[in-house]
Amino acid sequence: MTSSAGDFADKDFRSSQELQRQISLFFSPAFQAPPATAAAAAGGGLSAKQSGLPWYVLAMDQEVQAGPCEWMLHALGTCPCGNCARDGTIEAVADEMDGPDVAYVDATIRSDDPAYNDPIPIRIMAGASFGDESTWPTVRFMDSTVHLGLGEDGFVKPEMFELFAERYHLVLPLFPSLPDLGTPATPSVQHTLQILFMMLRRQAPECIFGENDENPEIHRMWKAMVQGNEDRLNGIRHYRTKALSHELVGDPAAIDWRTILEPNLANALSTPDLEERKQRLLALICKEADGVYSFPVFTPEFCETLVAELENVETSGLKIRRPNSMNNYGVVVNEIGMAGFMSRFQTDVSQSIATLLFPLEGRWVDSHHSFSVRYKAGEDLGLDMHTDDSDVTFNVCLGKPGFTAAGLTFCGVMGAADHRRFQFQYRHEIGRCVVHRGRQRHGADDIDQGTRVNLIMWNKSLAFRRRQERKPPPYAVEGAPPSLQCLSYTHDRDYSAYKPIPLDKRQFARGWCPPRGKEYIRPTTPGGAL
């Protein structure tokens, strides 16, 4: 069961001649699978053994796909689509991109260094300029890998390719297992993959960065980031030995959604016809309020499996990173080895539904922050009003059976005149997912009895965040006083004008909302009294 962000798209990206030109440049014949192998691997990526890829490339997409031009803004400084300003900032962009598409493939690589030898998902992108003498593909690491050569959003800094290419024959002897591809006369995907492998080593190559006494800061930072990544992987490896469910922390390719997803959802997602799939998904989705939806996602048995796994983490001895400073009992599941599972969930499940419900924000979701929360008497009871650092949030109730209260209160959308006005209260059901935009104000109501555990995925779209629509619109002036249940003691600077800040919450108060001049002002009477 697979789907892509373009499943429900209006435009056939693969029709452009420019994209076909990019595809023809993207791979040399050495990286094309023979017809028999391609047929055998239809519908999925190619393994290194199938395609003849080097051993450090574990898998690579069989077909080159098309993505939004905004992906390459960070790396190129200018946009290949023609809809951007000269400095690379987005100007007014239509909902549909009319310029040249970005060609891309997803791959999985590895290093032989213990600090980087877990499978690393990457995305290799090429714009219209790929194949020119000095233009390397744009590469983005799609996980939490830490490395000095990575910049914002996981993009490999372009100068890394240039430095390693210029000194290729000086670096190559450090890696006896690598074939000599020759100093690259022009950038190629083969050299790109090999340079990525060369980067993922414990020491900064002295033939590129000089000896330690020549450039101590580079060597210090390189070493610190290597250690940070090794510590992260060691925590994941440690927990894999203690995990109850190896389906959650093992090879994501082995996941069988038929045993995990609610049967009707699993059947809908596996429907081959796109229009029929769309209609079957819509039949499962309930509109709770404007911009808020819910649907059945996991079986009760799988919810129990997840709850048991999360409880197991607490006793595993693993150093646990909590979701934020206000959730003291949740777990960042990406850091216990579940990143692969959650990424598969995003690709196979949440992406299609986010695209269907929120085409602008959800169409190109490509990364996520995934974590659990737990509410229980004597622990965290609820969570203050807030918005999420996500473009589309998926929030699944896992249990436990018997909890009472602990719903979600939804208010308006950040920046709107009614963003602090009550909209509705959602009641959680085990196995059901509530979906909303990240900028929808909401809060977790205090639990009364029992324990509520939820799995939350903040889906993020790099393309959407780089588009004009992602820039927050000017705040509208509030036309009515805020609803009391929509006030935030953490974020609202005028909270105390309506009710006192709880004594035990004052440490969290850092009010900024609404911006000055945008809050509701009580009208004055002719006599001047309020």
Residues 116-173 have pLDDT tens digits of 999 999 999 887 555 555 678 889 999 999 999 999 899 999 899 999 999 999 999 9
What pLDDT, on the 0 to 100 scale, is given for residue 16? 44
Q: How many Å apart are CA 442 and CA 419, to the nearest integer?
A: 10
Q: Alpha carbon of 356 to those of 79, 241, 276: distances in Å?
A: 27, 38, 13
Shared domain for 198 and 165, answered yes or no, is yes
- How many structural domains compose the chain? 2
Q: What is the pTM of this model?
A: 0.86
- Residue 225 and residue 268 in one domain: no
Say if residues 247 and 341 touch (Cβ distance below 8 Å).
Answer: yes
pLDDT of residue 276: 97
pLDDT of residue 482: 97
pLDDT confidence of residue 133: 55
Rounded CA-CA distance 324/96 in Å is 36
Of 236, 265, 299, the one marking the end of a domain is: 236
The rounded radius of gyration (Å) of the Cα atoms in the chain is: 25
Q: In angstroms, rounded to a whole number, what is the distance separating the alpha carbons of residues 54 and 195? A: 12
Within this chain, do residues 141 and 182 fall inside the same structural domain, yes or no? yes
Predicted local distance difference test score (pLDDT) of residue 68: 87
Structure tokens given for 291: 């911009």
Q: pLDDT under 50 in the chain at which residues?
A: 2-16, 18-20, 22-23, 27-44, 46-50, 75-99, 528-530
Signed CA dihedral, 180, 181, 187, 191: sign only: negative
CB 512 within 8 A of CB 407: no
For residue 2, being part of any structural domain is answered with: no
Residue finishing a domain among 213, 236, 259: 236
End-of-domain residue from the set 236, 263, 298: 236
- Residue 523 domain flag: no
In angstroms, the CA 101 to CA 22 distance is: 9
Q: Where are the beta strands (DSSP E) in 226-332?
A: 286-289, 292-296, 331-332
Classify residue 43: in a domain, yes or no: yes
Task: Report the phi/psi class of residue 98: left, alpha or beta, with left for phi > 0 and alpha for psi in -120 to 50.
Answer: alpha
User: Could you list the residue range(s) of the whole structural domain that residue 91 is in?
Assistant: 13-236
Residues 136 and 158 sit within 8 Å (Cβ to Cβ): yes
CATH number at residue 279: 2.60.120.620
Q: In 3D, which of 322, 154, 309 has the Cα closest to residue 229?
A: 154
Locus of tokens 């993009």: 155
Same domain, 166 and 38: yes
C-beta atoms surrounding 432 within 10 Å? 19
In a shared domain, residues 131 and 252: no
Q: Answer yes or no: do 354 and 376 share one domain.
A: yes
Does one domain contain both 270 and 198?
no
196 & 251 share domain: no
What is the pLDDT, as a whole number, of residue 97?
A: 39
Identify the three-state secondary structure at position 238: helix
Residue 524 belongs to a domain: no
Rounded Cα distance between 236 and 220, Å, is: 25
Do 232 and 251 reside in the same domain of the chain?
Answer: no
What pLDDT was estimated at residue 503?
86
Instruction: Specify whether the backbone of 88 is left (phi greater than 0), alpha (psi in -120 to 50) or beta.
Output: left
- Is residue 280, in this structure, part of any structural domain at all? yes
| Bridge partner list, 296 | 432
CB 48, CB 132: distance < 8 Å = no
